[in-house]
Structure 1
Amino acid sequence: MTLSQISARMGALAAATVLSATLLFAAPQAHAATNGSYYKAELAQPTTSKPQLLRSVYVKCEGTSCRAPIASTAPKNMCVSIAREFGAVTAFTAGERVFTAEEITACNGDNTKAVAKN
């Protein structure tokens, strides 16, 4: 093995190490920066409910604002679950996606509570 082959392998190893370190430390920090607020919902009525496990994540509501981290479910399903558990939803976002008025109406369906659950 020549010196240039050893240098090339060492360079590749160094690049792989830097890439691994970046993925190991930077990716979790970027996820943590969202503060568990991938899903955001505004309710029609304030709620005093404790955090609820919905769709494999805890949804926490304070007043009329609900927040939850990302889950392995479709945003529509999360919106429907929040409406069923906490009451009518007036606004909903999943990451950068903002639900339209029609999507909000579909989330609320016929299953929402007239008064927020206590």
Structure 2
Amino acid sequence: MMTLSHFSARLGALAAASALSATLVFVAPQAHAASNGSYYKIELAQPTAAKPELLRSVFVTCEGTNCRAPMASTAPKNMCVSIARKFGAVAAFTAGERVFTADEVAACNADNAKAIAKN
């Protein structure tokens, strides 16, 4: 038989769990969004004076040879190629924890060169 004190304890535990869940629902995405501003880190071969540009649904911001962008819903290689098209040759590219190899960066620049040749 459940007494009033058992019921109160269970109700209190449920309320605490609900409050914790609600907090995580609102705080976790905010923390992710704060760190999301520099998911992509790019070093260009040449400095650029370009203004922030919308590429693949995110804004890419550059200062000199350093560019940054939040995570986009595209493959990192596609983002690399898009950046090479818009800002020039890429010297280094990082997507989150993944650092592109020299061959992968060369492929980004080569894909960009192919696209330019088609136009």
- Partner in structure 2 of residue 44 of structure 1: 45
- The alignment's C-alpha RMSD in Å is 1.7
1:34-87 Cα deviation digits (max 9, x unpaired)? 261110100000011111110001101110011101111111110010001000
Which portions of structure 1, spanning 4 or more consecutive aligned residues, are displaced by more than 2 angstroms? none
2:99 is matched by which residue type in structure 1?
Answer: V
Q: Distance in 2 between matches of 1:27 and 1:82?
A: 26
Change (3 A) 1:36 1:6: same
Q: Distance in 2 between matches of 1:28 and 1:110?
A: 35
Q: Which has the larger radius of gyration?
A: 2
- Partner in structure 2 of residue 73 of structure 1: 74
- Partner in structure 2 of residue 18 of structure 1: 20
Structure with greater contact order relative to length (CA < 8 Å, sep ≥ 6): 1
Deviation at 1:7, TM superposition (A): 1.8
| Structure 1: gaps of 5 or more residues | 113-118
| Map 1:20-35 → 2, pairs under 5 A | 20-32=22-34, 34=35
1:47 is matched by which residue type in structure 2?
Answer: T
| Structure 2: gaps of 5 or more residues | 114-119
Q: Quick check: 1:8 aligned with 2:10? A: yes
Q: Percent identity, please.
A: 63
TM-score by length of 1: 0.84
Deviation at 1:101, TM superposition (A): 0.9
